[in-house]
Structure 1
Amino acid sequence: MMAKLTLIATLLVGVFLVGAYAGNDYLWGEVGANDYKLAKDSVHKAFFVGMVLNKKYVFKQKNNLDALTITAIKITDKKKSDGATAVLTHGGPGSKGATIMFTSQRGHGISDVVEIWGR
């Protein structure tokens, strides 16, 4: 009985630690087998003491007539803790472009990688 309780307690602590140190990763849509990577960009903004920082990322294709349709957007947070949040404010899967707004934690910077797929 005591071994069972110890195992449960250890698993719960592990779940909380993973959640506390996981970045804010996002995936909108689904990457299909026939999709092309349309963009891979780094989004950075240095921290400023006591401030919440915002950064807008805009993906726009050059030739709108031949533009591919976005199928997925993946954001990987490079910070293990205190990472920025991301909100898809315009476009995204099913459209030709996308606008994403990043917001940092107070006193922390932004360090993310944006990958966009389409067909």
Structure 2
Amino acid sequence: MKTFCVAFVLVALFAVGTYSYNATYGNVNNYSAILSRERVVLYPRNGQMISYDSVFPKNGQINNKIISGIRVIDHFSNKTGANPALWSGGPGFKFSTINLKSQLSRGINSTVEIYAK
């Protein structure tokens, strides 16, 4: 029984210690069509936090479809990734602004995907 408890604690610590800051806004399923995919890679600056706004549609582009879902995928798996936040628009609108904010002295390595039905 003691061995089982120790093994369970080690598995739990591993599972908690290796997660990313992923986010999903709205509904993304197999029938969703992708409107935009943006890979954001920004290198760390010592003693600074980095903030990046992923805007859809980009300047000069036109979007006539209503957004059904947004998925933000963090490619760091050690709790050092950027925190995503939906600032404007999003599901139900034709535009969106996603803010990615890094941790102190950390970079950003995320993908922002925007879907429509």
Q: By how many angstroms is 1:108 displaced?
A: 0.6
CA distance in 2, matches of 1:5, 1:68: 57
Give, as a single letter, the amino acid of the residue that structure 2 aligns with 1:47.
Answer: P
Provide the residue aligned with 2:114 in structure 1.
116
Match of 1:13 among 10, 34, 38: 10
Q: By how many angstroms is 1:113 displaced?
A: 0.6
CA displacement 1:27-78 (0-9 Å, x = unmatched)? 11112443211011101211011211111110127335xx111111111101
SS of the aligned residue for 2:113 comes to: strand
Query: TM-score by structure 2 length?
Result: 0.86
Bigger-Rg structure (1/2): 1
RMSD of aligned alpha carbons: 1.6
Query: Which 10-residue stretch deviates more, 103-112 or 9-18?
Result: 9-18
Seen in structure 2, the aligned counterparts of structure 1 residues 52 and 63 have a Cα distance that, compared at 3 Å, is closer
Provide the residue aligned with 2:41 in structure 1.
44
Gap runs ≥5 in structure 1: none
- The number of residue pairs the alignment matches comes to 114
Match of 1:97 among 95, 108, 117: 95
CA distance in 2, matches of 1:52, 1:10: 37
Seen in structure 2, the aligned counterparts of structure 1 residues 30 and 9 have a Cα distance that, compared at 3 Å, is farther
CA distance in 2, matches of 1:71, 1:85: 21
Give, as a single letter, the amino acid of the residue that structure 2 aligns with 1:63.
Answer: I
* Runs of 4 or more above 4 Å deviation: none
Give, as a single letter, the amino acid of the residue that structure 1 aligns with 2:68.
Answer: T
CA distance in 1, matches of 2:67, 2:12: 34
Give, as a single letter, the amino acid of the residue that structure 2 aligns with 1:95.
Answer: F
Identity of aligned residues (%): 25
